[in-house]
Amino acid sequence: MSNSADGKLLLIGLGPGDTDLQTPAALRALTNGDVIVGYRGYIDQVSDLAAGKELVSMDLGQEMERAARAVDLAYQGRSVAVVSSGDAGIYGMAGPVFRVLTDRGWDGESPAVEVVPGISALQSAASLLGSPLMQDFCAISLSNLLTPWEAISRRLEAAAFGDFVVTLYNPRSQRRTWQLPEARRILLEHRPADTPVGLVKDAYRPTQQVSVTNLGELESCLELVDMFTTVVIGNSTTYVHKGFIITPRGYEAKQVSSASNPD
């Protein structure tokens, strides 16, 4: 009879949606699982690999329930693939699963756990926008369902003061409509209105939309933003050229400095 020593949790990042952007490691891990657990939309994304496997699909908002079910199955000796979009370790299912394991006194060995990385939303958005993440950047989720807004606000202030390129996850939903305008207000206290902003919705999916605007005009674009949109806000050096958002790495300044101060 199987037991937890035989069980395994495969925490898999599926990337942005395009099958060409799923890693070979993720595809191998999916084939190794005999159960696939995830949000219904993500399971549909890998339906061609799900033949003969048990499927446990749940709605958005049931992350802890998904994690608990996956852990239950792994303790029963099953090989369980838990799927997330993007990267499982960036606002994905790796966190809830490890939380459930911790609460159950997991010994760190059985069931075995493997985290399989995927292409994150910020990477996907950046590739479609140009090269906005070439200097120090940060990712901040605007969802205050799990994190108090006071903490989110402090992080926005720190990122703005530190001149980070800022990538916003979960920027807006049908019920959460004021957080993005408030984030814009905070950032405008530290950077000019013409700071470039990129909006990428449904990256690498048939419904993909890519828009380039700036902080001053972002308010007029809010209806284009939802939970499947990634917002990338440039720093003091970011500029737009031919529709692409570019943050220079700084090699140019280094070359000028070297020319001015030869050895």
Summarised one tens digit per residue, pLDDT across range 7-34 is 999 999 999 988 899 999 999 999 999 9
| b/e sequence 159-193, b meaning 16+ C-beta within 10 Å | bbeeebbbbbbbbbbeeeeebbeebbebbeebbee
pLDDT tens digits along 129-147: 999 999 999 999 999 988 9
Q: What is the mean pLDDT of the chain?
A: 92
Backbone angles phi, psi at 183, to 5 degrees: -60, -40
Tell whether the model's pLDDT for residue 111 goes beyond 90.
yes
Which two three-digit tokens encode residue 42? 């993500």
> Residue 59 — very low, low, confident or very high, per pLDDT cuts 50/70/90?
confident
Dist CA 193 CA 199 (whole Å)? 16
- Buried-state track 128-149, b at ≥16 Cβ within 10 A, e below 16: bbbebbbbebebbbbbbeeeee
Among 40-54, 91-105, 110-124, the range scoring the smallest mean pLDDT is 40-54
Render pLDDT for 154-197 as a digit per residue (tens, 0 to 9). Answer: 999 999 999 999 999 999 998 899 999 999 999 999 999 999 99
**Full-model pTM:** 0.90
Which residue ranges form the domains of the chain, and what is each CATH number? 8-119 (3.40.1010.10), 122-246 (3.30.950.10)
What torsion do the CA atoms of 177, 228, 200, 128 make, to the nearest 10 degrees? Answer: 160
Which pLDDT score, from 0 to 100, does residue 1 have?
39
pLDDT at 251 (0 to 100): 67
